[in-house]
């Protein structure tokens, strides 16, 4: 590699770290033109293209690089990540496995394979891949967090709590504390959950989810506090339809009729827009039933709600169910005369 190419390559890496993808792409293309066999330039170019949204170009660059170096494990691992993000899960899993055949000790390959399996709904394989990744990188707080999210998704709350606590211990971020709080809440430990949410919002006041979770807890015993938390979350996420629903429901419960007609008209408009998105997250339907929402719109939202949970259910592993054996025939030793008469009359 010439000194000139090396200088341009480092300029490209600096530009990519700074978020200047156009400059990074220009630099890496220039390096490849000068050094067509320099695989790191292809890898960085594909990364920059992917980050700029040019996914098909990024895939083509990875494939061109693999044609030059078919046994380059990092290329396979990175292509697995790209395919997983694009929903091409079979391809992602194939490239992940190929990377591991080439380099069994590559954490990136195990991690990307774990994410692909998790999205594919293969819980056991995803768990195994995450555990392999953690064996190679036990101090990675983000890995503990992701594995905890996998466990919580499949109802393994005790294991999820262990992972979240490890993540908090290694790197106490707002995201980790919020996840720990959600698992504690699901386990019924609401007081500890609230402490975690409070810690999360202090660590990152711009993170809306802890405010929402605090509102959910407060709604059981203090509507004013719940309303304040929802409004704080709404200030951070002004287009979140779910927040508008909760705020409208609380104001109705408090008989706050100021601006009621305008509030309901705005909410109906937001709900109509939400109904157009097939994969939108569910809304609090029970609260909406107490509002003057058009029945046809409520029906569309209910169907959307059902479709959302159907997709979640299909992603879950099959329930290990063994059918019960047929019940033995019940032999009655004594039949009363009245029952014999009834049977005869029938």
pLDDT tens-digit series, residues 282-298: 888 888 888 999 999 99
What average pLDDT does range 133-154 have in this prediction? 96
What average pLDDT does range 245-271 have in this prediction? 93
Q: Is the pLDDT of residue 320 over 60?
A: no
Share of the chain above pLDDT 70, in %: 90
Q: Is the pLDDT of residue 343 over 50?
A: no
Beta strands in the chain (DSSP E): none
Q: Is the pLDDT of residue 332 over 60?
A: no
* Contact assessment for residue 335 and residue 313, using Cβ atoms and an 8 Å cutoff: no
pLDDT in tens, 171-228: 999 999 999 999 999 999 999 999 999 999 999 999 999 999 999 999 989 999 999 9
CA distances from 337 to 25, 333, 340, 343, 346 (A): 94, 13, 5, 10, 14
Q: What is the pLDDT of residue 272?
A: 93
Query: Tokens representing 44?
Result: 């960085």
Q: What is the pLDDT of residue 5?
A: 85
The SS3 of residue 294 is coil
What average pLDDT does range 318-333 have in this prediction? 54
Average pLDDT, the chain: 90
Reported as a pLDDT band with limits 50, 70 and 90, residue 327 is low
Q: What is the pLDDT of residue 342?
A: 41
Residue scoring higher pLDDT (340 or 119): 119
Query: Tokens representing 294?
Result: 């058009």
* Contact assessment for residue 168 and residue 180, using Cβ atoms and an 8 Å cutoff: yes
Q: What is the pLDDT of residue 50?
A: 93
What average pLDDT does range 55-72 have in this prediction? 95
* Rg (the chain; Cα; Å): 28
Could you give the angle at which helices 73-85 and 107-120 cross, rounded to 10 degrees? Answer: 30
Q: Is the pLDDT of residue 144 over 60?
A: yes
Q: What is the pLDDT of residue 95?
A: 97
């Amino acid at each position: 590699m010439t000194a000139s190419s090396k200088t341009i390559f480092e300029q490209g890496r600096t530009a990519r770290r700074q978020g200047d993808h156009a400059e990074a792409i220009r630099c890496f293309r220039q390096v490849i033109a000068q050094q067509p066999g320099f695989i790191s330039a292809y890898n960085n170019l594909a990364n920059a293209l992917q980050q700029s949204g040019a996914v098909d170009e990024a895939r083509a660059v990875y494939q061109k690089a693999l044609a030059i170096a078919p046994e380059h494990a990092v290329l396979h691992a990175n292509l697995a990540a790209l395919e997983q993000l694009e929903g091409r899960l079979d391809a992602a899993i194939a490239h992940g496995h190929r990377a591991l055949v080439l380099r069994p000790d590559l954490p990136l390959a195990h991690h990307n394979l774990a994410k692909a399996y998790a999205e594919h709904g293969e819980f056991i394989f995803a768990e195994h891949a995450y555990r392999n990744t953690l064996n190679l990188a036990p101090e990675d707080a983000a890995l503990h967090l992701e594995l905890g999210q996998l466990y919580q998704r499949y109802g393994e709350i005790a294991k999820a709590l262990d992972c979240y606590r490890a993540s908090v211990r290694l790197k106490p971020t707002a995201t980790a504390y919020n996840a720990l709080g959600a698992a504690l809440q699901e386990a019924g430990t609401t007081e500890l959950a609230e402490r975690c949410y409070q810690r999360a919002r202090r660590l990152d006041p711009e993170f809306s989810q802890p405010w929402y979770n605090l509102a959910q807890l407060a709604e059981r015993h203090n509507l004013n506090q719940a309303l304040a938390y929802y409004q704080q979350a709404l200030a951070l996420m002004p287009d979140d339809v779910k927040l508008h629903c909760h705020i409208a429901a609380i104001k109705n419960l408090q008989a706050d009729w100021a601006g009621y007609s305008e509030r309901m008209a705005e909410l109906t408009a937001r709900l109509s827009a939400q109904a157009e998105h097939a994969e939108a997250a569910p809304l609090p339907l029970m609260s909406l039933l107490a509002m003057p929402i058009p029945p046809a719109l409520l029906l569309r939202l209910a169907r959307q709600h059902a479709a959302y949970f159907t997709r979640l259910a299909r992603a879950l592993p099959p329930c290990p169910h063994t059918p019960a054996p047929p019940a033995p025939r019940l032999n009655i030793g004594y039949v009363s005369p009245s029952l014999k008469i009834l049977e005869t009359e029938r």
